[in-house]
């Protein structure tokens, strides 16, 4: 009989810059902390000797820190909208013998205000984020700055290349290598028109009209998502809800409507995206001025939120982390929600019908009620007993 095939996890990135031990965040036994585009970029910058010892490198959207750790011998700046990515970078620097401040991280809405000699861009899933970043880059490029982007070929479309051409200048691509591709961009300094379209906003009418502002990386930026709408239409209202969490808050619409309908509650807005938390804070401020209590936290799920401290958790779970799809994040969110809920506290979620969240919630809470559904989405409720 044949022995079962054993699949070994690759933890060591082997590139011309050296060997690096890398982990994803959250850890995943089955997935690497880098992709073929990271390897292609690192090989390329080595082969064409684009980095001088003292030249400043800016890295955008490094998912788990693979690029920044491999180039940490240079002055490296890393910008990411993701708290998970920044944590991965910190952990991977430490794992490879570097202090955490070896790479300067920047997580604001805007890119770091330093002139850089080389920019390496991992092409993000959201074109809106790339567009915002390319406009931001114009401020910090000098005449000789090299700009090289990379991604898996399936994520690089003609619209992606048009964006580079329109905002920065002439753009060419390499042949695919291990299904990844590089994009070389030449800055044309005569192209100066236009500016970032983000943040964007729309008006949401519920009990009154709210202005909902969305920074560039947000989900459903120009209108309310249909699933979110179904949860809003089925928002729980109870006098006992004094502490409400909007987990994975995005622009904060769920928490804002929950606050309006539950006037004695204080709110906690959490998201792993810096742009999301900034959007939620702006939107809550716009809706309630200083009249209501709320906290805003860039966080991985509800890390460090005290157990048994909350009455209601609202979630519209993400189905993507970076470019990968799955329900692992939803499961982590549900587990964390259960931990922070008081006895009799409620988790209310909306999700695609086909994702089977019902079974997960029943397994975790021992109960799950269907509150509402349409052809695509379902609103579910579980009570902590
Ligand atoms: C489907 S969107 C929902 C946004 C908003 N609640 C709505 O309904 O419009 C999911 C959100 O979860 C956030 N998210 C993803 N992973 C997270 C994590 N580990 N911790 C906290 N938030 C996370 C994403 O950034 C995104 O804003």
**Ligand 1 center from residue 301 Cα (angstroms):** 9
213: which strand partners?
Answer: 201
**Alpha-carbon gap, residue 231 to 250, rounded angstroms:** 14
pLDDT in tens, the chain (385 residues): 454 444 445 489 999 999 999 999 988 878 899 999 999 999 999 998 888 777 899 999 999 999 999 999 999 999 999 999 999 999 999 999 999 999 999 888 888 888 999 999 999 999 999 999 999 999 899 999 999 999 999 999 999 999 999 999 999 999 999 999 999 999 999 998 899 999 999 999 999 999 999 999 998 888 999 999 999 999 999 999 999 999 999 999 999 999 999 999 999 999 999 999 999 999 999 999 989 999 999 999 999 999 999 999 999 999 865 555 568 899 999 999 999 999 999 999 999 999 999 999 999 999 999 999 999 999 999 999 9
Query: Same topology for domains 12-185 and 200-383, yes or no?
Result: yes
The pick from 248, 269, 349 for probing ligand 1's pocket by mutation, whose C-beta has the most ligand atoms within 8 angstroms, reads 248
User: In the 8-state DSSP scheme, what is residue 82?
Assistant: B
Contact 315, 349 (CB under 8 A): yes
pTM recorded for the entire structure: 0.95
Answer for the pair 293, 258: CB distance below 8 angstroms, yes or no: no
**Choice from 24, 212, 250 to test ligand 1 binding pocket (greatest atom count within 8 A of CB):** 250
Distance in angstroms between the alpha carbons of the first and the last residue of the chain: 49
The ligand 1 site (C-beta within 6 Å) comprises 84, 219-220, 225, 228, 248-250, 253-254, 270-273, 276, 300-301, 316, 318, 329
Of 143, 78, 76, 130, the closest CA to residue 106 belongs to: 78
Look at the block and give the residue holding tokens 């979110």. 228
Report how far ligand 1's centroid is from the alpha carbon of 205 (Å). Answer: 22
Rounded to the nearest angstrom, the distance between the alpha carbon of 252 and the centre of ligand 1 is 10
**Strand blocks (E) in 103-247:** 103-106, 116-122, 141-152, 171-173, 180-185, 200-205, 209-214, 243-247
For atom 17 of ligand 1, which residue has the closest CA? Answer: 272
Architecture of the domain made up of 12-185 = 3-Layer(aba) Sandwich (3.40)
Q: What local confidence, expressed as pLDDT, does residue 320 receive?
A: 66
Q: Is 136 helix (H, G, I), strand (E, B) or coil?
A: helix
Helix (H) or strand (E) holding 348: strand 341-352
Quick one: which of 352, 369, 368 has its CA closest to 360? Answer: 368
Copy the structure tokens of residue 365: 């809470």
Q: How far is the CA of 77 from the centre of ligand 1 (A)?
A: 26
What CATH superfamily is the domain 200-383?
Vaccinia Virus protein VP39 (3.40.50.150)
Give Cα separations from 190 to 114, 143, 169, 360 (angstroms).
21, 12, 9, 55
pLDDT digits over 330-343, tens only? 999 999 999 999 99
- 190-222 pLDDT per residue, tens: 998 899 999 999 999 999 999 999 999 998 888
**Atom 4 of ligand 1, residue of closest alpha carbon:** 250
Mutate to test the pocket of ligand 1, among 280, 318, 379 (most ligand atoms within 8 A of CB): 318
pLDDT computed for residue 219 by the predictor: 87
| Domain residue ranges of the chain, discontinuous segments joined by + | 12-185, 200-383
Cis bond before residue 199 (omega within 30° of 0): yes
- CB atoms closer than 10 angstroms to residue 249: 29
pLDDT given at position 135: 96
User: What pLDDT, on the 0 to 100 scale, is given for residue 7?
Assistant: 45
Structure tokens at 126: 């959201």
């Amino acid at each position: 009989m044949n022995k079962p095939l054993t699949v070994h996890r690759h933890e060591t990135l082997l590139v011309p810059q050296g060997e690096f031990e890398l982990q994803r965040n959250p850890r995943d036994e089955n997935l690497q902390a880098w992709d073929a585009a990271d390897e292609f970029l690192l090989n390329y910058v080595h082969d064409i000797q684009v980095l001088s010892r003292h030249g400043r490198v800016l890295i955008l959207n490094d998912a788990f820190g693979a690029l920044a750790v491999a180039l940490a011998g240079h002055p490296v700046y890393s910008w990411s909208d993701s708290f998970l990515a920044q944590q991965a970078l910190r952990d991977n620097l430490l794992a490879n013998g570097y202090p955490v401040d070896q790479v300067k991280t920047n997580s604001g809405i805007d890119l770091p205000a330093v002139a850089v000699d080389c920019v390496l861009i991992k092409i993000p899933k959201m074109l809106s984020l790339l567009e915002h970043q390319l406009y931001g880059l114009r401020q910090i490029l000098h005449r000789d700055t090299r700009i090289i982007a990379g991604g898996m070929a399936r994520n690089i479309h003609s619209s992606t290349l048009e964006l580079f051409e329109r905002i920065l200048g002439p753009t060419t691509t390499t042949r695919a290598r291990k299904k990844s591709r590089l994009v070389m961009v030449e800055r044309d300094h005569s192209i100066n028109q236009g500016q970032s379209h983000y943040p964007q906003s729309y008006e949401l009418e519920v009990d009154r009209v709210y202005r909902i502002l969305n920074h560039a990386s947000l989900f459903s930026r120009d209108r309310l998502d249909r699933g979110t709408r179904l949860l809003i239409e089925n928002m729980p209202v109870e006098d006992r809800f004094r502490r409400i969490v909007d987990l994975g808050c995005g622009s904060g619409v769920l928490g804002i409507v929950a606050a309006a309908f539950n006037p004695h509650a204080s709110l906690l807005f959490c998201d792993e995206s810096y742009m999301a938390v900034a959007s939620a804070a702006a939107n809550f401020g716009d809706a309630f001025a200083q009249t209501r209590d709320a906290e805003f936290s860039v966080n991985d799920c509800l890390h460090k939120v005290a157990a048994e401290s909350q009455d209601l958790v609202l979630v519209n779970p993400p189905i993507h982390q970076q470019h990968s799809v799955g329900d692992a994040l939803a499961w982590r969110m549900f587990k964390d929600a259960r931990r922070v809920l008081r006895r009799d506290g409620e988790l209310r979620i909306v999700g695609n019908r086909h994702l089977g969240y019902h079974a997960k919630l029943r397994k975790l809470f021992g109960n799950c009620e269907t509150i509402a559904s349409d052809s695509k989405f379902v609103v579910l409720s579980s009570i902590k007993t």
